[in-house]
């Protein structure tokens, strides 16, 4: 069965520091992969997605993610975090007619 | 240019009552999705529509849950005989096309509390 694991429930980083949020998936074929962000009081917003081709995907707000088939991972990165990046981040995989989301990683940014 | 809207924004009901949650997708979006987000949980995919058809209903948690979409637009998620475990935020999303090739735009959600 398809599944998505986000091992880190909560991460705290200093503003200006680099960030990596982990995501591992389980899917039989090459999946479609996504990262979403949910800011307080706001709806979910797509950061980036991967279908095929270049395994390094660029998204909005300076985020990028790298698909590593050998590790079944799709980790999200940002070189320099801003205070406004504090939010909940969800990794998702599309399998067949359904979408599977991880349980999310809550990001706190300290000045 | 409005986004996805959902109503009501909040709903408090008593156990055993039926509730209807409404989703108005972005105009022209053929695909529509329902999710459930429980406290401390990720998003749970419930169902999607391509036009007025729902090809796969296996994500619905039980037969108390049903959904329909009419005119390729508005969708209603109905929960019959609500239980306390149904308490959650119900999110709707729409996209121009099904499959991840169409970006999903999410509504603000309906927060359901079953007492």
- Nearest-by-CA chain A residue for B102: A49
State yes or no: pLDDT of A29 exceeds 80. Answer: no
For the segment A76-90, what is each residue's pLDDT rounded down to a tens digit? 999 999 999 999 999
Q: What mean pLDDT do residues A41-49 have?
A: 88
Range A4-22 average pLDDT: 96
pLDDT in tens, B39-85: 777 789 999 999 999 988 888 999 999 999 998 899 999 999 999 99
Q: Which residues of B touch A (CB under 8 A)?
A: 3-4, 33, 35, 40-45, 48, 55-56, 58-59, 91, 93, 99-101, 103-104, 106-109
Q: Give percent of chain A above pLDDT 70.
A: 97
Please tell me the predicted confidence (pLDDT) of residue A42. Answer: 79
Q: Strand A24-26 to strand A3-5: parallel, antiparallel, or no bridges (unpaired)?
A: antiparallel
Per-residue pLDDT of A60-69, as tens digits, reads 999 999 999 9
Percent of chain B with pLDDT over 70: 95
Preceding peptide of A38 cis, ω within 30°: no
Rounded Cα distance between B72 and B53, Å, is 9
Overall average pLDDT of the B100-107 stretch: 80
Using a CB-CB cut-off of 8 Å, the residues of chain A touching B33 are 99
**Rounded to 5 degrees, what are φ and ψ at A71?**
-105, 0
Mean pLDDT across B17-45: 91
A51 and B45 in contact by Cβ < 8 A? no
A95 at interface of B, judged by CB pairs closer than 8 A: no
pLDDT of B96 > 90? The answer is no
Residue A111 has pLDDT above 80, yes or no: yes
What span, in angstroms and rounded, lies between the C-alpha atoms of B12 and B82?
11
- B9 to chain A, minimum CA–CA distance in Å? 12
Say yes or no: A40 contacts chain B, CB-CB below 8 A.
no
* Residues A95-102, mean pLDDT to the nearest whole number: 81
**What's residue B100's pLDDT?**
61
């Amino acid at each position: 069965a398809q599944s998505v694991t986000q091992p880190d429930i909560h991460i705290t980083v200093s503003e200006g520091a680099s960030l990596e949020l982990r995501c591992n998936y389980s899917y039989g074929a090459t999946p479609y992969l996504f990262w979403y962000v949910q800011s307080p009081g706001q709806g979910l917003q797509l950061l980036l997605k991967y279908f095929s081709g270049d395994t390094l995907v660029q998204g909005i707000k300076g985020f990028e993610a790298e698909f590593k088939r050998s590790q079944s991972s799709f980790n999200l990165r940002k070189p320099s975090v801003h205070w406004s990046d504090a939010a909940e981040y969800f990794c998702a995989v599309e399998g067949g007619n359904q979408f599977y989301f991880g349980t999310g990683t809550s990001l706190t940014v300290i000045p | 240019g409005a986004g996805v809207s959902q109503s009501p924004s909040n709903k408090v009901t008593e156990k055993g009552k039926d509730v209807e949650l409404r989703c108005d997708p972005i105009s022209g979006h053929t695909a529509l999705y329902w999710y459930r987000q429980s406290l401390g949980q990720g998003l749970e995919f419930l169902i999607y529509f391509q036009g007025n058809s729902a090809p796969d209903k296996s994500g619905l948690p039980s037969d108390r849950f049903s959904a329909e979409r009419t005119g390729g637009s508005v969708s209603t998620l109905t929960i019959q005989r609500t239980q306390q475990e149904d308490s959650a935020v119900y999110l709707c999303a729409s996209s121009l096309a099904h499959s991840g090739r169409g970006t999903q735009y999410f509504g603000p959600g309906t927060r359901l509390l079953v007492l």
